[in-house]
Amino acid sequence: GEWGELNNRFHKNLFFGTGGMRGRTIGGVATDAERGGAETGATPRYAAAGTNTLNDYTVVRATMALHGYIRAWMTVEGILDIPRIVIAHDVRHFSRHFCELAASTWDELGGYAMIFDGPRSTPHLSYTVRRRYAHAGIVITASHNPPHDNGFKAYFVDGAQVAPPHDQAIIDRYARIGLEDTIPFVRASNENQISSFTILPTADDLAYRSILEEAVLDSELLKEHCPKLVFTPIHGTGAVSAVPALWDHGVEVASVDEQTKPNPNFPTVKSPNPENSEAFRQGIAVARKIKAKAVLATDPDCDRMGAAVFDGKGRYHCLTGNQIACMLAEYRISKLKKQGILPETGSSRAVILKTFVTTPLLEYIARTHGVRCVNTLTGFKWMAEKIADYEDAATAALREKEGISWDYEETDLQTRIEVLLRYSNYSVLAVEESFGYLPLDIVRDKDGNAAVLAFAEMLSHLQSIGSAPLKFLEELYRRHGYFEEKTANLIFEGAAGAEVIRKIIDSYTENPPSSINGVSVRKAKDFGRPGYLDEDEKPLPVENFFTFELENDFNVAVRASGTEPKIKYYFFGRANVADQESLTNVKKEVGETLKIFAGWAETDASERGGLAKKLDDTATDQGVSDLEKESEEN
């Protein structure tokens, strides 16, 4: 009689998107057979049955599609080798099982699979694919999704998530694989006949830990000036590498004991997402006890990092992803200039990479420093693709002009930077607003471990000059103008929700708004149409993504999430700042305007989709967080 549950499980095949797939692995209504006698909170005996859930069949199907494509690609490229893959997993329900199942399937298909002995972070996988000269990678994770979800992320030979044209070819193969094709592999798993695969040695962990050193520009700052920090992995994989990396630099870091132990239910938080201030509750409590200057947090697969910083007046402020990105960019460019790695006037070959939906303040920072800012579509794979292009261009130029071949991974950072600045482009930092940062050029996905180190170094610099994070931010605002961003989401789940999302997206293509909340649209871009170029003058891929530049210098962007059942709205506000006194008023005015725009999104989308839906606002406001207000009241 649970017809809604049946419909949600079977109304479609679980979508294998351009980077992989996510979905429920524990049903909203679990059957007795699925639970298999497991206690409440424990992993059920079986993953949820259904064509639209992540279970043994869909994991095997995805693995078969990836293997088939990799083998075909190797044939075309003339690579005579056994397809090699590295597979990692986080702490979620069924993560280890799915990891071993994918490895066994790969092995049975005639490949060579390597897995870790336990949970590892997503960037750790990205690096190990390159270190092991693997042809592909998989991470079993649903990032910061709810506990009942899990996912399958596919990586290519370069250590980045699969991108065109490879992604669509894998999707096409996935669509052609039937249920009956997966049964032999699933049966072997259920009968405990999983094939052998290789467990990676400790050397691979040490190698990744070593490469994290490149996230630090001045190790002496960390050793001599780093303030006391609190770190929490929010029950995920962050403690595996981030904490030892901080220890390596002599950083005094305290852990949140209740959140350090892996737990697939993430019991101490509403959501294991450092984008949400609520996730910092226990970390801030520890910070108050030990008088720490900041709390750093990573999500379950440790590709994202968030931070709450002390204001010197008894409060901890949760920074937005945009704020963290700007602080890191300003510090790292300035430091590279001070070290003589970048000329004082900057270089057009030094680049800040960001997505279109990340704050425009980064463009002002880059311009002031004489470096370029290159925008990509949403998704870190596009920035990883840029870094790979820069590597390829430098490699080709080095060979052609100097007759030298180099092993990029084996070349020290200083030499890599020199070659990239001479012949190609060097990515100083790659960032996205959703708390993703990459201060490395060898790892090819956002890296929470590296971000922890980079942020700690920036804090050390500020302490060494008698400054503080919020003061540093205000200096940026006075120099470039006040920028504030707000992200709002409309969530539409299930079969009916998918149809609403389609209607809304189609409507923006067919009938774009001429004004938003009474403000005229000066320029509109529909990236679903071909012809747009990025700052490198390279064509941008086609995607259901829209941007609207308004007459008041505010901007709005709209896109359908590629991994969750939601429409995402991004609002960007900016105003000039005359002095410190005016900054307070400007913050208030911009913030109030952005809240009004967020209300417009709900009304506009409801009209376009033909269905009213409550707005789910997950953005962290500037200033004192709701968490702080609550703690003060209590």
Query: 351, 625, 578: which is closest to 470 by C-alpha?
Result: 625
Cα separation values, 554 from 322, 359, 391, 462, 551, Å: 16, 11, 35, 31, 7
Is 464 marked active-site?
A: no
Active-site residue, selected from the candidate residues 143, 347, 434, 625: 143
Expressed in percent and rounded to 5, the helix, strand and coil fractions of the chain are 45, 20, 35
Q: Which of 31, 77, 75, 71 is nearest to 50 (CA)?
A: 31
Q: How far is CA 502 from CA 150, 563, 569, in A?
A: 24, 15, 15
Cα 92 to Cα 35: distance, rounded to the nearest angstrom: 16
Q: How far apart are CA 442 and CA 101, in angstroms?
A: 29
CA dihedral 585, 586, 588, 590 (to 10 degrees): 160
The upper half-sphere exposure of residue 111, i.e. CA atoms within 13 Å in the direction of its Cβ, equals 27
d(CA 634, CA 630): 6
Eight-state DSSP code of residue 15: P
Which token pair is 159? 């250590």
Alpha helix ranges (H) inside 465-493: 469-480
Q: Hey, which residues does 161 pair with through a beta bridge?
A: 155
CB-based contacts of 386-390 (< 8 A; 24+ apart in sequence): 386/351, 386/353, 386/427, 386/430, 386/536, 387/353, 387/427, 387/430, 387/441, 387/444, 388/158, 388/160, 388/444, 389/536, 389/538, 390/351, 390/420, 390/424, 390/425, 390/426, 390/427
Q: Which residues are registered as beta bridge partners of 310?
A: 316
CA distance linking residue 129 with residue 120, whole number of Å:
13
Burial classification of residue 260, based on how many CB atoms lie within 10 Å of its CB (0-12 exposed, 13-18 middle, 19 or more buried) = middle
Distance between CA atoms of 422 and 429, rounded to whole angstroms?
18
> In angstroms, what is the C-alpha Rg of the chain?
24
Cβ pair 424, 398 in contact under 8 A = no
- Asked whether the beta carbons of 305 and 297 are under 8 A apart, the reply is yes
Residues in the chain: 634
Rounded-to-integer distance, Cα 99 and Cα 89, Å = 6
State the number of CA atoms in the 13 A half-sphere of 261 facing the CB: 6
Q: Are 48 and 24 in contact (CB under 8 A)?
A: yes
Helical H segments across 191-237, by residue range: 202-211, 219-225
Evaluate whether 438 touches 277 at the Cβ level (below 8 Å). Answer: no
- Residues known to be catalytic: 143
